[in-house]
Amino acid sequence: MNLCPAPKLILASTSPYRRELLARLRLPFDVTPPEVDETPQDQETPAHLASRLAASKAGVVADRHPDGVVIGSDQVADLNGESIGKPGNHERAVEQLRRMRGCSVTFHTAVSVVCRRAGYAQTEVAQVRVVFRDLNDDEIERYLRAETPY
Options 74, 78, 134, 138, the catalytic residue: 74
Q: Distance between CA 110 and CA 127 in Å, rounded?
A: 9
Q: Do residues 20 and 13 make contact, with C-beta atoms less than 8 angstroms apart?
A: no
Q: Do residues 11 and 71 make contact, with C-beta atoms less than 8 angstroms apart?
A: yes
Q: E strand or H helix at 112, and its extent? A: strand 104-115
137 is catalytic: no
Coil, strand or helix: which one is 150? coil
Coil, strand or helix: which one is 102? coil
Catalytic residues: 74
